[in-house]
Amino acid sequence: MKTRSIDLQYQCCSLAHHSDNLYITTHTSLHVYNISSGQGRQLYSDETGVCTVYRCAVSPDGSQVFITNYSHHQLITLNKDGTKLSTFTHPELQDPVAVHVTSLDHEFVSCLALNTVVQAVGMKDGTRTIKPLAGKKEKLAEPIALCFNSSTDTLVVSLGQNDKIVELQLKH
């Protein structure tokens, strides 16, 4: 049953939610839409490529927004006002698509070029690096969406090439 409809002035590529706000990416910009007030505004924009603001995730406390820049192989961190805090690049961060942040602030990113899922570690101390989680041996053909199941400590990955969803058991 449809309960509400929001008319956007742009195409929606991805959504993230925190508190009363929807964060919406459009391939080149990030918008925030307040559900209660119905007010929206652009937080961030990057017109230097086709998919520079591709997918997004919000930190558990709502203080940071993470976006994948597919065109330039980056993971970008913004504060809640849209100010860029960091731009992270790494050789294993090729064609990043999905980004997911868990309740414990773990950042997971799926990368199409290498058919891998990685964890960006070191977010708090600023010495970020990549921890590979899964790749060719798990046969991750086009990992395009991520979701973390905290009750089972599994990362659920949607695969675009073969219309499958796989679960990855995470080790502590």
Model confidence at 82, pLDDT cuts 50, 70, 90, reads: very high
Q: DSSP assignment, residue 53?
A: B
Count of alpha carbons within 13 Å of 24, Cβ hemisphere only? 19
Sign of CA dihedral 107, 110, 113, 115: positive
Q: Are 120 and 75 in contact (CB under 8 A)?
A: yes
Does the pLDDT of residue 2 top 90, yes or no?
no
**How, if at all, do strands 56-58 and 21-25 pair?**
unpaired
Model confidence at 170, pLDDT cuts 50, 70, 90, reads: confident
Task: Provide the pLDDT for residue 130.
Answer: 85
Query: In the sheet that 143-149 helps form, which strands lie side by side, from edge to edge?
Result: 143-149, 154-159, 164-169
SS3 content of the chain, % helix, strand, coil (to 5): 0, 50, 50
Does the pLDDT of residue 21 top 80, yes or no?
yes
The amino acid sitting at 70 is Y
Percent share of the chain, pLDDT over 90: 66
Count of alpha carbons within 13 Å of 76, Cβ hemisphere only? 25
Does the pLDDT of residue 131 top 90, yes or no?
no
Beta strand extents in 19-125 (DSSP E only)? 21-25, 29-34, 40-45, 56-58, 64-69, 74-79, 84-88, 96-101, 107-111, 116-121
| Cα 153 to Cα 21: distance, rounded to the nearest angstrom | 27
